[in-house]
Amino acid sequence: MFLTKKEEQMCNGEFGETIRKSMDILVALGDIYGASKLVDITSAQVSGVSYKTIGEAGLEYLEDLAGDGLGVASVNASLNPPGTDLDNWKELGFPEEFSIKQNKIVDAYGKLGISKTCTCTPYLVGNVPRFADHVSWSESSAVAYVNSVIGARTNREGGPAALAAAIVGKTPLYGFHLDQNRNADLVVNVNCELNGADFGALGYIIGKVVGSGVPYFKLKNTPDNNDLKTLGAALASSGSVALYHMENVTPEHKQVDVEEVEDIMFISEKEILKTREELSTTDREPDLICLGCPHASLEEIKKVANVVQGKTIKNKLWICTSVSVKATADRMGYTEIIERAGGNVVCDTCMVVAPIEDMGFEVIGVNSAKAANYVPSMCGLDVVYNDVENLIQFE
Ligand code: F3S
């Protein structure tokens, strides 16, 4: 891979150890994937944050990397969800030792100049690239959103690679950064209107079929941004989709010559309903309903507030989101409505990366196909998959 003189100096440690280690990662990645050079990025989003997934070794690595104080993020960079609500873990019942370690991890990232806004929907809260920007993002649902809905360009980076890119301000030029890899591999015709959790079911079906390919969707009705984030998360979890096109919606759909795509699929209402049923692992009633996968938008919190207003919720309810979205939900009075009904707006974390398996829950109600896919494997708990209105039970 071609390196400029300055990049070579970075590799030689002339700008400090943190930058040298970061360049090591980027150069190795570029060599593996045959990148011609490094390209400047405008944004990074870094995964590998939860103490549940990176543990003690991850904490030590980050504290060591932050040690020289020279290498800090040189572009707008934010973090993925950690395993606890960083501020309100005690009130919400998160384990103490876990939460203290978790805060140390986030502090280490902070020393590296990564914003402590912890969310998998950074595009809702200030980490918003422009069309065609090169970026380095690692949360898979956010990768699908930023490539597909915004039209910026990233590969599905690992956490260390996105961190290295944030520090250096560059990423290897290959894969989804290049025009020729952004065409569609499969056209998906959906024969019925989709609502709510149908979008997750569709993403779950197509992710399995297309793997790491690029699907092009033709729908009967127009999805909104919340539907698109749900769809992308499902595509990225049952498959490893980084980019999809939605006809008449996403910015690059017109650049796809649909006639040239050989693989075509038709999806019926029956298949959507069958998949919705298959995403549940039990008929038992959820003891925790956990919404906000990917992290909830203000509109989604408002919708829940409308559903629970003036009522008392039977099961426990968490809506996971970023501190920034919650601050607005507080101002709008949505948080108060939800808390009066017995629910909580939980910041930073989510049902997959939090240690919910150690918090006394057995069955988790979700409206996200990604969460339905991961909660059984990552937490060992059962899930019920449905729309918000059907999940929440009242006294
Ligand atoms: Fe986000 Fe957690 Fe879902 S990181 S996409 S809320 S599994």
Question: Which amino acid residue places its CA nearest to atom 6 of ligand 1?
Answer: 293
Structure confidence by residue, pLDDT tens digits, 190-237 = 999 999 999 999 999 999 999 999 999 999 999 999 999 999 999 999
378 in contact with ligand 1, CB cutoff 6 A = no
To the nearest 10 degrees (0 to 180), the angle between helices 269-278 and 198-210 is 90
Q: Are residues 68 and 91 in the same domain?
A: yes
Determine the pLDDT at residue 69: 78
Q: What angle do CA 349, 232, 39 make, to 5 degrees?
A: 90
Rounded alpha-carbon distances, angstroms, from residue 51 to 83, 95, 141, 281: 6, 12, 20, 27
Determine the pLDDT at residue 67: 77
Helix (H) or strand (E) holding 306: helix 298-308
Question: Which amino acid residue places its CA nearest to atom 2 of ligand 1?
Answer: 350
371 in contact with ligand 1, CB cutoff 6 A = yes
Q: What are phi and psi of 189, to 5 degrees?
A: -100, 120
Which of 78, 370, 381, 383 for a ligand 1 pocket mutation test, highest count of atoms within 8 Å of Cβ?
370
Determine the pLDDT at residue 350: 97
Full domain range(s) for residue 80: 5-179
Q: What angle do CA 206, 208, 213 make, to 5 degrees?
A: 70
Q: Are residues 301 and 386 in the same domain?
A: yes
**82: preceding bond cis by omega (within 30 degrees):** no
* Token digits of residue 165: 């890119």
Q: Are residues 170 and 50 in the same domain?
A: yes
Which has the closest alpha carbon to 321: 343, 131, 312?
343
Q: Are residues 283 and 219 in the same domain?
A: no
Determine the pLDDT at residue 340: 98
* Token digits of residue 210: 């297309």
Structure confidence by residue, pLDDT tens digits, 59-107 = 999 999 887 778 899 999 999 999 999 999 999 999 999 999 999 999 9
For the chain, state the CA radius of gyration: 21
For ligand 1, the distance from its centroid to the CA atom of residue 211, given in whole angstroms, is 19
For ligand 1, the distance from its centroid to the CA atom of residue 42, given in whole angstroms, is 23
Residues 6 or more apart in contact with residue 305 via CB below 8 angstroms: 329, 333, 334, 337, 338
Q: Are residues 240 and 111 in the same domain?
A: no
Which has the closest alpha carbon to 292: 364, 206, 240?
364
Q: Are residues 25 and 171 in the same domain?
A: yes
Domain end marker among 277, 296, 312:
277
Task: Report how far residue 20's alpha carbon sits from residue 237's, in angstroms, rounded to the nearest whole number.
Answer: 33
Task: Report how far residue 251's alpha carbon sits from residue 293's, in angstroms, rounded to the nearest whole number.
Answer: 24
Task: Report how far residue 103's alpha carbon sits from residue 113's, in angstroms, rounded to the nearest whole number.
Answer: 15
Q: Are residues 37 and 131 in the same domain?
A: yes
Q: What pTM was estimated for this model as a whole?
A: 0.97
Q: Are residues 11 and 141 in the same domain?
A: yes
Rounded alpha-carbon distances, angstroms, from residue 150 to 80, 130, 225, 250, 344: 19, 7, 11, 7, 30
Which has the closest alpha carbon to 157: 62, 260, 43?
43
Instruction: Please state the separation of Cα 338 from the chain's center in Å.
Output: 24
Question: Which amino acid residue places its CA nearest to atom 3 of ligand 1?
Answer: 293
Question: Which amino acid residue places its CA nearest to atom 5 of ligand 1?
Answer: 294
Q: How many domains are contained in the chain?
A: 3
For ligand 1, the distance from its centroid to the CA atom of residue 140, given in whole angstroms, is 9
Q: What are phi and psi of 35, to 5 degrees?
A: -70, 145
Which has the closest alpha carbon to 120: 326, 293, 369?
293
Q: Are residues 13 and 145 in the same domain?
A: yes
**Which ligand 1 atom is the nearest neighbour of the CA of 139?**
4
Name the stretches of the chain with pLDDT < 70: none
Q: Are residues 82 and 21 in the same domain?
A: yes
Domain end marker among 277, 298, 330:
277
Helix, strand, coil distribution of the chain in percent, nearest 5:
45, 15, 40
**CATH code where residue 122 lies:** 3.30.499
* Token digits of residue 12: 């030689």
Q: Are residues 295 and 375 in the same domain?
A: yes
* Token digits of residue 125: 């809260």
**CATH code where residue 335 lies:** 3.30.499.10
Q: Are residues 204 and 229 in the same domain?
A: yes
What's the longest Cα–Cα distance across the chain? 68
Determine the pLDDT at residue 66: 85
Domain end marker among 161, 179, 197:
179
